[in-house]
Structure 1
Amino acid sequence: MRIAVIGLGLIGGSLLRALAAAGHEVTGFDADPATRELARAAGHRILDSAPEAVDGTEVAAIAVPLPHLPRVLADLAGYRGLVTDVTSVKGPVRALADEHGVPRFVGGHPMAGTAASGFAAADPDLFRGAIWVLCVEPHSTDLADWLTLARLFTALGTRVVPITADEHDDAVARISHVPHLLAAALTSTLAGAPLSATLAAGSFRDGTRVAGTRAELIAAMCAGNAPAVHRELDAVIADLIRLRDDLTDTAPTAKILPYLEKSTKLRQSWPPTPGAPGRMTADADALLALGRSGGWVTSVDGTELSTMRPETDRFSS
């Protein structure tokens, strides 16, 4: 398949390398000349503009931060191929695609990454075993286009989860965007505290890992999903206030123990254990039912999908 990747940072660069390794005819573009030269030096066909990169391709994958998407979509005016993206918020991207009149669009988000950034950190195996969200909008997503991308990404070793853009944004606010803000808040406690910096060990390292992500990327994804992030932050803050108040009780251990036992059980049951493999014929309702159950697609054969769902009794409490 002829595919263009626009934006060659960690995710875009890894996608470029993974698709090339899988035998696809891949072209790329990045707005940064140094990044283009780095990708060329790695043996890839890199063009000097987005329109040149997508010319003659069947699929264009946009891998730029949300603030840069309007410019890229404007550059792709007139492109008739299938467009997808890797942005960590989906509702605003869907709105931009509509605004720019993109005729064929399926929003995507690979749940993969590291604290590193840039093409130099790109890894063709980054997505192997990772979740790749592919949005299904019941009244607008073309099923054939969705299946094209699901086939492409499952062949790279990903697990494709079908959900709507709004469902995606609600979920990632909870499990990605708010954790980035919490990590930043925890990291800020090191300011002016050299003793704390010396004593900090595993729990601090694990709790603050994503604070090493580029600040502009964290700001863009949280601001782009502000309503959902605000809602989830309120929920977390309410829990923290409750725990703070419980610690003033005459028996603080007994007061906070039930909450901690519940969270311990939830953490020990994550990630979900896959259940028995399944098969299904693709249609929008069936895909959304699969995604909403926490299930995913493992391979695509025409309109027949191999699927997996998690065990359903591990997150009931």
Structure 2
Amino acid sequence: MAVIGLGLIGGSLLKALAAAGHEVTGYDADPGTRELAGAAGSIAEAVTGAELVVLAVPLPVLPAVFAELSGHDGLITDVTSVKGPVRDLAAKHRIRRFVGGHPMAGKETSGFAAADPALFDGCAWVLCLETSEPETGEPETGEPETDLADWLTAATLFTALGARVVPARAAEHDRAVAEVSHVPHLVAAALARRLVGNPLAATLGAGSFRDGTRVAATRAELIAAMCGGNAPAVSDVLGAVIDDLGLRLDELAAADPVAALVPALRQAGDARRAWPPRPGEAAEDPAGVDELLALGRAGGWVTAVAENRATVSTMRPESGRNPS
């Protein structure tokens, strides 16, 4: 196996795969990181003979990396936080076997020095399962475009690392991460900007400010790359959040603002207290495209793949714990 890009995620994956007994090599554009990781001297050297290649580089770098991998016979996956553009790049560069991926894992430190082989324990790891169904409207059965055998290979590997593999189409993933990751970074940045030229507020800031702005400390270039790379979904979700805040403005202008604010705040509080959803009962499901996508849309995940690849061990959220 080969990991291209040895920052926090790529470096952690390199270490996790090695700890699990896999033969793995890596490559990073930074000479210091290559030396620290004992990595290969080039992408070509790293991927020679690799059955699986994981791309852990920033989205703007992916076109050049895909160009080097065109014609590679092994399975390729990635860990990029936006999936639609990566899917399109893979198709453009005629990548023969590709399964888009995104582990929902990380921490505020970065670089290979911060890599942790236990980073993926219990994390949700999206693996994209593309079909020919339209990306708008109600989900319907479509012809599979992702090779199911390749998807199950990736799912087998990442569940063995302790991840909860969530099947989803790229468009579904991009909308969901806009809601729970990308737009929250922009909201946190907007709140953190209230400190600029405001020393009194900085002195009075406490728990709610700390919790609401934590991710604003992420490097600006990283936030910009993930939000800009997912611009259509982020714009849609950010517009919905702005509309919701506009309703709060209307409620604040009401004759009784306290009473007017309560219903929406209560709904938000109920949703937050019910998160994260508790796992329900374990099940065995057919390892089919339609069944896997239905699992992901229900908020469920795969915990293991049967040796014969005919079934998967699954878990769904406990009924009543995931409010609509």
Q: Structure 2: which amino acid aligns with 1:124? A: P
Bigger shift: residues 242-251 or 7-16: 242-251
The answer for the alignment partner of 2:56 in structure 1 is 63
Name segments (4+ residues, structure 1) moved above 6 Å. none
- Note the alpha carbon deviations across 1:63-101, whole angstroms, 9 max, x for none: 011000001111212211000000000000000000000
Identity %: 65
The answer for the alignment partner of 2:264 in structure 1 is 259
Partners of 1:311 and 1:79 in 2: CA distance:
42
Residue 21 of structure 2: which of 14, 20, 23 is its match?
A: 23
1:74 paired to 2:67: yes
Residue 166 of structure 2: which of 150, 161, 168 is its match?
A: 161
Q: Secondary structure at the match of 1:68?
A: helix
The answer for the alignment partner of 2:82 in structure 1 is 89
Q: Secondary structure at the match of 1:23?
A: coil
Partners of 1:73 and 1:202 in 2: CA distance:
44
Q: Secondary structure at the match of 1:275?
A: coil
The answer for the alignment partner of 1:306 in structure 2 is 313
1:172 paired to 2:163: no
Partners of 1:316 and 1:57 in 2: CA distance:
43
- How many aligned positions are there? 310
What stretches of structure 2 of length at least 5 have no aligned partner? 132-143
What is the Cα deviation at residue 108 of structure 1? 0.1
1:161-200 matches, within 5 Å, as 161-200=166-205
The answer for the alignment partner of 1:231 in structure 2 is 236
What is the Cα deviation at residue 173 of structure 1? 0.7
TM-score, L = length of structure 1: 0.96
Q: Structure 2: which amino acid aligns with 1:314? A: R
1:206-217 matches, within 5 Å, as 206-217=211-222
Q: Structure 1: which amino acid aligns with 2:270? A: K
Q: Secondary structure at the match of 1:112?
A: coil
What is the Cα deviation at residue 314 of structure 1? 2.4
1:244 paired to 2:249: yes
Partners of 1:13 and 1:315 in 2: CA distance:
33
- Note the alpha carbon deviations across 1:156-215, whole angstroms, 9 max, x for none: 000000010010001111111100100111111111111211221211111111112121
Partners of 2:69 and 2:319 in 1: CA distance:
43
Residue 280 of structure 1: which of 285, 301, 306 is its match?
A: 285
What stretches of structure 1 of length at least 5 have no aligned partner? 41-45
Alpha-carbon RMSD: 0.9
The structure with the largest strand share of the pair is 1
